[in-house]
Structure 1
Amino acid sequence: MSFKKIIQKSKDTQGSLEITGSKSESNRALILSALFKNLSLKNISNSDDANVLQRALLPSSPVIDIHHAGTAMRFLTAYFAVQEGTEVILTGSSRMKERPIKILVDALRSLGANISYLEQEGYPPLKIKGKNITTSKVELSANVSSQYVTALMLIAPSLPQGLEISLLQQITSMPYIEMTLKLLRQIGVKANLIENKITVPHTNTIESQTFIIESDWSSASYFYSIAALSSSADIILSNYKADSLQGDSVLSIYYKHFGVETSFDYRNKRVRLIKKADFRLQRNNAKVDIQLNLVDSPDIAQTIAVTCLGLRISCRLTGLHTLKIKETDRLVALKTEMEKLGAAVDITKDQLTLHRVSNLRKDITIETYNDHRMAMAFAPMALKIPIQINDANVVSKSYPDFWNDLKKLGFQYAEDE
């Protein structure tokens, strides 16, 4: 499905939505439910990534293709490494074969795992022969991807001696590691993080229970952007909580810069986004209007950058080194597509600076580079200019209902035949 044009005629946005379960929580919980058979899950994400992971955990073939699902690749590498007697090949898309996994494989090999590369050293596809692992200590760099750390944490309870993980260098995306810790504790695994050391004890059994997955805060970011770019907005999102496990819940703080206030309905687990019609952005005399360090929440960087572009304000976003190894090099992709709209953008290996733009170019086609977040981050720009999003069905990776939910808020679009 490819949209010729997205238009939002009304600049006042109102509506109520229920977003699918968090992809991040779902993927973690799915691995844990495979390890602990008496753990039931509700509100699992309907994203491609979660569906791919569910199918992979019940493989019908020794060759498992996870397509573009980077989280699944990392979590499954660790999971199958400890499934004694199993032998699988983990592969994926051409882009997946360019995404490094050496740090995780090296860590697993140091524990005794049997993993080999079938093509390029350090990259998928992988051949994994599951075995009983008794080593209980491991070190790995924590400054590249928190998913490497989480992959080890998730399998740790199943190891005979548990696992002690020593994290080297500065930890990136810390809220995602904390999410994993809290998930483990909620189901009854006594995991701890003290300074740079994570300890997860062997846990043979847990109490039978049902874990309800919260809706996805990364997906909520697009509605924060819509609220910010609207003249006024009143948007209610269901199945959210103030004490979220998800790091991207920091949206409620960041979007105050753009006039979006967040209130929580604790009883009904709903969040309400209000953009007051009389809000005026307070510009300052600094070189940039907005400066944020997103090292702990890189998945919302694209959304925030496009919000600033739509409001024609400048920003400097730092802590973005992980964006270069995502579905695409997101820093390069952002620069390319934002400059089509008339922006001036500077990027380094870990930051993006957007300069103020006086006018936005209309009827521009945005390429998505097989990246779901590129499509969803740019869609709210329709509140400012007619815009086309190519390969719009890429949103199914994390949020298949995205375009239908935009319709509920009054967005209109025409599809290519």
Structure 2
Amino acid sequence: MDLRISHPTRSVSGEISVTGSKSESNRLLILQALFPGIEISNLSNSDDTRVLLKALASNEEKIDIHHAGTAMRFLTAYFATKSGREVVLTGSQRMQERPVKILVEALKSLGADIEYVKNEGYPPLKIKGKELSGSTVTVASNISSQYISALMLIAASLPSGLRIRLSGKVTSVPYIEMTLSLLKTCGINGSFSGDLITIDPVEKQSPAEMTVESDWSSASYFYSIVALSEDAKISLASYKESSLQGDKSVAGIYKQLGVKTVFNGEIIHLSKTPFKKPATLVLDLSNSPDLAQTIAVTCLGLGIKCDLTGLHTLRIKETDRLQALKNEMEKLGGEVRITADSLHFVPSKELKSGIKIATYNDHRMALAFAPLALKVPLEIEDSEVVSKSFPGFWEDLRALGFSIENTAIG
């Protein structure tokens, strides 16, 4: 379904409750499957988390995780450890084009039995679960932190635990630190120092009650709304000032774009404040690449030049996010140059109105571009794609006064 979006006043206020972080939820679900004493509350209601829940509960020989990249990485490691279980792990056509070789080779070096069903290095995977005998592995760390987190999550269930040696510049360090912190909160000992991660084995994990913090990448779209508004006051629940999520950096970034953040318990209050536009917004987003689309579109709406780097992982997401951003931002106005790991935007004098935004089966394209309707009316193709991470997004925008119509009506 395509949606036509606008905002009649450009003044925004409201209270929004965002469900649990997809990143935290999916890590905790793997740990719960390995150590059933863990109880979880405030799980994400995203498609990715529902897919993972279904896969963990399934007894089928073939498991299809559709577009859920996190589920593919985490389940590959999980099923490799399940003695006596055989499964073919597959996904959408795009998922079958996303590389998984680094993780598979790491698991094989620990003794895993994994075969490629179609193309070398890519899903689908045929996995025969067994007890993994290895205790040390080296992983290239400049591709995706999810490979490393997948290994960390199974580490405590291995007879000798696991020592993970990282090779190369580490990508998305906050996600590794999030995984380690969740392990520790669940009673699993581990450390991350320099290029070495060490996780101790656990024979019996003590009961633990875990509450998932709300998702900071979902919060980023409301930061964009405040930045693009003429006047705004939005409250978001439930967030921690001492968050495990790397995307909490959105608060500091958007301070440069006129958004004030005030913490009050587990509520954050966002408001529009006067600010001087930076000549160029220069950011290294290697630790928070999921913010790139939101920030780029905000700069488009505010007419601010930006240079965003550290974006090499965006090429292998639901789509090539750098190319998709270039395509859609240039429709609206301005010039975008991309490299293998960066995006450089120069604004035009005005935004084009009524443009239809393609979403490329990527939830973050729809989520990132929607706030721009505060500046110009626009259309979002395939709006249901937001369910991958934020199913209630359109309802939340209506609650903030956005006009949202199905383009098939009138």
- TM normalised by structure 2 equals 0.99
Q: What letter is aligned with 2:2?
A: S
Structure 2: runs of 5 or more not aligned: none
- Match of 1:334? 325
For the pair 1:298 / 2:294, whether they are aligned, the reply is no
Q: What letter is aligned with 1:139?
A: T
- Match of 1:403? 394
Q: Is the 2:285–2:311 Cα contact (8 Å) retained in structure 1?
A: yes
- Match of 1:82? 81
Q: Distance in 2 between matches of 1:125 and 1:388?
A: 35
For residues 88-123 of structure 1, the C-alpha deviation after alignment (integer angstroms, 9 at most, x for no partner) is 000000000000000000000011100000001000
For the pair 1:282 / 2:277, whether they are aligned, the reply is yes
For residues 227-253 of structure 1, the C-alpha deviation after alignment (integer angstroms, 9 at most, x for no partner) is 000111110001101000100000110
Per-residue deviation, 1:393: 0.3
Q: Is the 1:313–1:357 Cα contact (8 Å) retained in structure 2?
A: no
Q: Distance in 2 between matches of 1:241 and 1:353?
A: 32
- Match of 1:244? 243
Match 2:371 to one of 380, 398, 414: 380
For residues 122-160 of structure 1, the C-alpha deviation after alignment (integer angstroms, 9 at most, x for no partner) is 000000000011210000100000000000000000000
Match 2:355 to one of 364, 368, 371: 364
Per-residue deviation, 1:2: 1.9
- Match of 1:70? 69
Q: Is the 2:310–2:341 Cα contact (8 Å) retained in structure 1?
A: yes
RMSD over aligned Cα atoms: 0.8
Per-residue deviation, 1:328: 0.1
For the pair 1:272 / 2:272, whether they are aligned, the reply is no
The percentage of counterpart residues that share the same residue type is 56
Match 1:311 to one of 302, 327, 334: 302
- Match of 1:229? 228
- Match of 1:30? 29
For residues 301-345 of structure 1, the C-alpha deviation after alignment (integer angstroms, 9 at most, x for no partner) is 000000000001100000000000000000000000000001200
- Match of 2:99? 100
- Match of 1:118? 117
Q: Distance in 2 between matches of 1:256 and 1:139?
A: 39
- Match of 2:335? 344
Q: Is the 2:149–2:176 Cα contact (8 Å) retained in structure 1?
A: yes
Q: Is the 2:256–2:275 Cα contact (8 Å) retained in structure 1?
A: no
Q: Distance in 1 between matches of 2:349 and 2:301?
A: 11
Structure 1 residues 283 and 29, CA, compared in 2 at 3 Å: closer, same or farther? closer
Structure 1: runs of 5 or more not aligned: none
Q: Distance in 1 between matches of 2:136 and 2:69?
A: 25
Q: Is the 1:235–1:273 Cα contact (8 Å) retained in structure 2?
A: yes
- Match of 2:148? 149
Per-residue deviation, 1:10: 1.5
Q: Distance in 2 between matches of 1:123 and 1:199?
A: 28
Q: Is the 1:228–1:260 Cα contact (8 Å) retained in structure 2?
A: yes
Q: Is the 1:112–1:135 Cα contact (8 Å) retained in structure 2?
A: yes
For residues 11-59 of structure 1, the C-alpha deviation after alignment (integer angstroms, 9 at most, x for no partner) is 1111001011100000000000101111010000000000000000011
Per-residue deviation, 1:196: 0.5
Q: Distance in 2 between matches of 1:34 and 1:79?
A: 9
Q: Secondary structure of 2:93's partner?
A: coil
Per-residue deviation, 1:280: 3.6
Q: Distance in 1 between matches of 2:97 and 2:50?
A: 22
Q: What letter is aligned with 2:160?
A: Q
Q: Is the 2:277–2:304 Cα contact (8 Å) retained in structure 1?
A: no
- Match of 2:205? 206
Q: Distance in 2 between matches of 1:234 and 1:142?
A: 40
Q: Distance in 2 between matches of 1:139 and 1:245?
A: 25
Q: Distance in 2 between matches of 1:255 and 1:184?
A: 31
Give the number of equivalent residue pairs: 408
Q: Distance in 1 between matches of 2:353 and 2:249?
A: 31
Q: What letter is aligned with 2:108?
A: R
Q: What letter is aligned with 2:363?
A: H
For residues 357-391 of structure 1, the C-alpha deviation after alignment (integer angstroms, 9 at most, x for no partner) is 21110000000000000000000000000000000
Q: Distance in 1 between matches of 2:383 and 2:196?
A: 42
Q: Distance in 2 between matches of 1:187 and 1:391?
A: 39
Q: Distance in 2 between matches of 1:103 and 1:95?
A: 18
For the pair 1:162 / 2:165, whether they are aligned, the reply is no
